[in-house]
Amino acid sequence: MNSLNLVAGRAMVSDEGGGPHVPGSSPQDIQHQLDSLFDDELEHATIALKQHLDETAARLALHVRALERRNIPEVAHGLGTIGWLVRFCSMSRGEASGTVKTGRALAHMPTVTTNALDGQVPYRSLQLLAQARDRHPDEFTHHEAVFADTASYLTPTDLRRAINYWEQQVDYPRALADTKRRDRLRSLYLAGMFNGLTDIKGALTPEIAHTVTTALNSLCDPGNLDPDDMRTPAQRRHDALGEISRFWLDHNQTVETSGGEKPHVTITLDYRMLTGELNQLPEFDGVPVDPEAIRRLTCDAGIIPMILGSDSEPLDVGRKTRTIPTALRRALEHRDKGCTWTGCTAPESWCDAHHITHWAHGGETSLKNTRLYCRRHHTKIHNGEHPPPEP
């Protein structure tokens, strides 16, 4: 096989076997070699190295296919091919699975494989062609030569778009079904981490991704930022998401949650934390946060006074009306944390405030005479049913 060499300040291709060889083993030696190149030579060397990486990736897929065909991972180690790659090649399972599938497809794409081994097809493009071949094997065979040629000059993004158009032509019903199937895969996950941060992951549909990206970019465009803004792009996107969410909470006029009240963020803390008289960190859902962050949030927030008992349970909010007032509603949410029916895990936003002794029968609208129940269990209560005893 050909290997790339950087020798005497020149990018060269030799007929020696093995991988690329760069004189000098230390970073300083390599940097010296690179510094000795003229600008055009450095460009050509970089392009040649990328082509070599693509060629090597294609060759790796063929090696993996040979391992799988001869069943070596199973016979020698009792592993599947993917498991073998994870163990011996330090791949993730996703990377290993993609390599195995690409190797299988290459066995049926001779023209594409030839170009890939010459470094003419980026490995990502090779993967896209392998996926297209797997979906439409017969049709792909008739158009392989065209794809092999176009993959040599189209970017992976443009090639994917071309493949999408092609698939619509060869099997429009399936292409339409694929878009509907993709829509069912949409997701968004928020998971608390041990350090108090929250990990956010998901898969957005194209239209939602475009909407979210446009909204975030409107607040992250460097041209609209202070030149002295030292936040990283990732930090700017994080802060932009918070700004967009807060704008929605502040300005929506139609959506109501939590028993008829507009969405809000509730923070329970000792007032002395805001003034600095108490050396204790405020918390969001049990996670300590910077007091300055809370002070920023409370600049335009309403402060609801609550009287807390010795066990920090809310005792009173100073209201007595038939309708559950906002302050009492918040106190209920703070105390009950959701539906109080035994075993129910419905959050407070799904719940109604229930008078234990009905208001019409003389019951007060107070904290001690109210409980939270989700709509389903609230209906059961008014139908004469009672929660089961605590286990």
pLDDT confidence of residue 206: 81
Minimal CA–CA distance to 136: which of 173, 191, 186? 173
Percent of the chain surpassing pLDDT 70: 73
pLDDT confidence of residue 363: 75
Residue 320 has pLDDT above 50, yes or no: no
Q: What is the pLDDT of residues 105-124, one digit of tens each?
A: 999 999 999 999 999 999 99
3-state secondary structure (DSSP) of residue 130:
helix
pLDDT confidence of residue 298: 52
Torsion of CA 95, 101, 103, 107, to 10 degrees: -170
pLDDT-derived band at 309, boundaries 50, 70, 90: low
pLDDT confidence of residue 92: 93
Amino acid at residue number 342: T
Report CA-CA distances (Å) from 134 to 102, 103, 107, 160, 235. 9, 12, 12, 15, 40
Q: Which carries the bigger pLDDT value, residue 83 or residue 304?
A: 83
Q: What is the pLDDT of residues 238-269, one digit of tens each?
A: 888 988 887 777 666 665 554 555 555 556 66
Give the residue carrying structure tokens 């350090």.
195
pLDDT confidence of residue 3: 39
Distance CA(73)–CA(80), nearest Å, equals: 6
pLDDT-derived band at 318, boundaries 50, 70, 90: very low
User: Token pair for residue 197?
Assistant: 């941060």
- CB neighbour burial string for 351-363, b if at least 16 within 10 angstroms, e if fewer: bbbbbeeeeeeee
pLDDT-derived band at 328, boundaries 50, 70, 90: confident
pLDDT confidence of residue 162: 92
pLDDT-derived band at 177, boundaries 50, 70, 90: confident
Give the pLDDT mean for 364-368.
82
Give the pLDDT mean for 72-88.
93
3-state secondary structure (DSSP) of residue 324:
coil
pLDDT-derived band at 10, boundaries 50, 70, 90: very low
Give the residue carrying structure tokens 């949650």.
257
Amino acid at residue number 34: L
Per the CB < 8 A criterion, the answer to whether 244 and 216 are in contact is: yes
**Which range is least confidently modeled, 40-49, 278-287, 377-386?**
278-287
Q: What is the pLDDT of residues 142-166, one digit of tens each?
A: 999 999 999 999 999 899 989 988 9
* Per-chain mean pLDDT for the chain: 79
Per the CB < 8 A criterion, the answer to whether 354 and 370 are in contact is: yes
Residue 8 has pLDDT above 70, yes or no: no
Q: Which carries the bigger pLDDT value, residue 366 or residue 299?
A: 366
Distance CA(276)–CA(120), nearest Å, equals: 65
Residue 313 has pLDDT above 90, yes or no: no
C-alpha angle 299/301/302, rounded to 5°?
A: 135
Helices (H), the chain: 27-35, 39-69, 72-77, 81-88, 93-106, 110-117, 123-135, 137-150, 156-170, 172-184, 206-220, 233-251, 271-275, 291-297, 326-336, 375-382
User: What phi and psi, each to the nearest 5 degrees, are found at residue 363?
Assistant: -70, 140
**Which range is least confidently modeled, 145-154, 302-311, 314-323, 350-359?**
314-323
Amino acid at residue number 389: P
